Amino acid sequence: MATTQNEITIQATRTYLASIKSNPLPSPAAIEESLLAKTNALFALENSGRTGSHRINLLKRLTFSQVAEILISLHRVVRIAPSGKNTDRDHDLLAIYVDDGEDEGIYATSEDQIRSIARLYNRELTINESREVMTVLREEAPRVSRCADRDMIAVNNGVFDYRKKELKPFDPSMVFLSKARVDYVQGALSPGILTPDGETWEVESWMHTLTDDPEIIVLLWEILGAIVRPHVRWNKSAWFFSELGNNGKGTLVELMRNLVGSASYASIPISDFGKEFLLEPLTRASAILVDENDVGTFIDRAANLKAIITNDVISINRKHKTPIAYQFWGFMVQCLNEFPRIKDKSESFYRRQLFVPFTKSFTGAEKRYIKDDYVGRDDVLQYVLHRVLHMNYYTLSEPEATKNVLEEYKGFNDPVRSFWTEFEEAFVWDLVPFAYLYDLYKAWFAKTNPSGSPIGRIVFVKDLLAIVHKSTLWHCADQRQQVRPGKMMDSPEPLTARFDLKDWMNQAYTGSDPLRKSTVHPLSSSYRGLQRTNTPPAAAGAVSAPGGGSTT
C-alpha cells in the first residue's frame, strides 16, 4: 500500500477518476467533494498507523496536482505539436477539448480558458498554484498532433468527410484548432431574398454580377472552398486586385469571414508578416482574410509570407511566452487597391500569387444590405458551405485573366523585368555587353521612374540573368566569360542614340546622323554580356578565359 502523502494522493486521484464513467460528468463541485473524501479517507487510514508529527494533514481543498489530473482525465487537456516535424516538446501548445457550446469539437489553446476550468475544482487556487497546474499539464498531458487528413473538414456541427461526402460526429481523437462556424445541412438550397427594391437576391446570381468572366466565377467558388479546406496544400494565395472602388471584393471577403467565423480567421496585412509578435493569431486560425492593405506597401522580408502560403514551418514569437516553430494550415486572401512592392522577385514567389482581377465598379449602385445582412444569413451560408463541399478539386484554376495580371505585376514589382520585356526583341547587336545593358537600363529608368533610384550594376546583372534564363532569343553560358565581339557588334545599335548613351557612341564621329553615332568605335577586345541564341559561328568571336581581356 502507498505510504507517502504524494503516493496516496496519486492513488486516490487516479482510482477515483477511473471510476467516473457517467455521461454527463458529475458537476465540478461533486467531483471536488468526492475526491476530497476519497483522498482524506486514505489519509485517515494511513494515519491510523502513524503518531504525532508523522500524521498526514487532511485536505481542505484539492491540490494543484489533483486539479491537473482532473483536467487531463476529464477535460482532455493535451499538448499539441505545433508542426508535423519533430519539434521540441517545450514548444507544444497546451489545449483543452471543448465538448459543447460555440467551440464544440475543437481544442482551445487559450491558457486563460484552461485556468478558468481549473478553478471550478478549487476556487482558492493561488497565482503560484495556477502556475503549478499549468506546469504539471505541460509535463504530464499526452502529446498529440493536429488532424492532417486533407479530407476531414471541421464544420460547426461535425466533421465532414470530403471523400465520402458525409457528416460525422466530432471525435476528440481528431484534433482541430478551428472549424467553419456554419452547420452542414444535407441538400441545402440557395434561398431567394426579397430586396428593398422589390427584386430577389440569390447568392449564385450575385456571384455572376462580380465579373463577366465565367472562368473567374469558377475560381471564386474554388477559393470559397479553399477557405474551409485548410489542410489541402493549395500552394497559392488569392490576391483580389482592383484599382476601382466599390468592386465587390470586400463583400466577398465578408462572406468568407462569415463562412469560417470570427474565431477561425486572422486578419494580417501583407506588411505585417515580417514583424515580431504579429503572427500569433495564426495558432488559432484556419484562414487569413484581409480586405484592406495600405497603399504604397513595400515588403522587405517575404520569407514568412512564402512559408505560410506553402504550409511550411515558421517561427512565431509570442509576447511573454516561448517562441514556437509553427506550421500554419489554411488559405490566405489579400485585397489590394494597388500592387505592393516586394523585395523578393523570384519565380518561386510569383508562383504563389494568384491575382484575381475585379474589373467592375458599383459606385452609385451600392447595395449595402448585401454585405451587412445577406451574406451573413444562416441559410445563405449553409448553401454556400454545401455547394463548395460538393465540388471536387484539389488545385485552383488559373484563368487567363489571372495570368495577365500576374505578368503586369511582375513588371511593376521588378523594373528589370519590365526593362527586359520592353527591349528583349529590340536589340540589333548579337552580343550585348552587360555594361551597355546597365547604361541603357539607367537611362530608361530615369525616363520611366523619374523619382526612383536604379539598382546597382551587380544586382542588375544578377536579376537580369534570372529573367533571361527563360529567353528563347538570348543566353549567357557564363557571366564571367569574356566574349570577343567578332562581327556581332558591327551594325549600328539605334538604342544608343535614342537614349543618348554617350560612352557607347562612335568617338571618331562628330556629325548628327544617329546611325553613324550608334556604331561603337573603338570596340573593346572582348565583353561580358548576352549573346543572341543561334548566332552564326562566323559572326561570333572566340571566348577568352574568365577574367582575361577587357572587363567591360
Within a domain: residue 103?
yes
Within a domain: residue 161?
no
Q: What is the pLDDT at residue 90?
A: 78
Q: What is the pLDDT at residue 540?
A: 57
Q: Are residues 226 and 362 in the same domain?
A: yes
385-414 core/surface letters (b: 16 or more CB in 10 A; e: else): bbbbbeeeeeebeebebbeebbeebbbebb
Within a domain: residue 299?
yes
* Nearest-angstrom CA–CA distance, 272 and 269: 6
CATH number at residue 346: 3.40.50.300
Q: Are residues 382 and 427 in the same domain?
A: no
Banded pLDDT at 296 (limits 50, 70, 90)? confident
The residue with cell 527586359 is 420
- Neighbouring residues of 79: CB distance < 8 A, sequence distance ≥ 6: 89, 92, 93, 94, 95, 137, 138, 141, 142, 143, 144
Q: Are residues 371 and 421 in the same domain?
A: no
pLDDT in tens, 465-497: 999 998 999 999 899 999 999 999 999 999 999
Higher pLDDT: 343 or 440? It is 440
Q: Which residue type is seen at 299? A: I
Q: How many domains does the chain divide into? A: 3
* Nearest-angstrom CA–CA distance, 528 and 51: 96
Q: Are residues 399 and 430 in the same domain?
A: no
- Provide the grid cell at 395: 488545385
Q: Are residues 423 and 324 in the same domain?
A: no
Q: What is the pTM of this model?
A: 0.85
Mean pLDDT of the residues in the chain: 92
Tell me which residue range forms the domain holding 264.
193-408
Q: Are residues 120 and 210 in the same domain?
A: no
Within a domain: residue 174?
no
Q: Are residues 219 and 353 in the same domain?
A: yes
Banded pLDDT at 435 (limits 50, 70, 90)? very high
Q: Are residues 381 and 420 in the same domain?
A: no
Q: Are residues 263 and 401 in the same domain?
A: yes
Average pLDDT of 346-368?
91
Within a domain: residue 527?
yes
Within a domain: residue 180?
no
Sign of the dihedral through C-alpha 444, 448, 453, 457? negative
Whether residue 542 is predicted with pLDDT greater than 60 in this model: the reply is: no
pLDDT in tens, 359-368: 998 987 889 9
Average pLDDT of 424-453?
95
Q: Are residues 538 and 505 in the same domain?
A: yes
Q: Are residues 201 and 129 in the same domain?
A: no
Q: Are residues 397 and 437 in the same domain?
A: no
Higher pLDDT: 411 or 174? It is 174
Q: What is the pLDDT at residue 551?
A: 41
Average pLDDT of 367-380?
97
* Nearest-angstrom CA–CA distance, 91 and 316: 10
Long-range (24+ apart) CB contacts under 8 A made by 400-408 are: 400/215, 401/213, 401/215, 401/216, 401/357, 402/216, 402/219, 402/354, 402/355, 402/356, 402/357, 404/357, 405/241, 405/355, 405/356, 405/357, 406/350, 406/353, 406/354, 406/355, 408/339
315 three-state secondary structure: strand
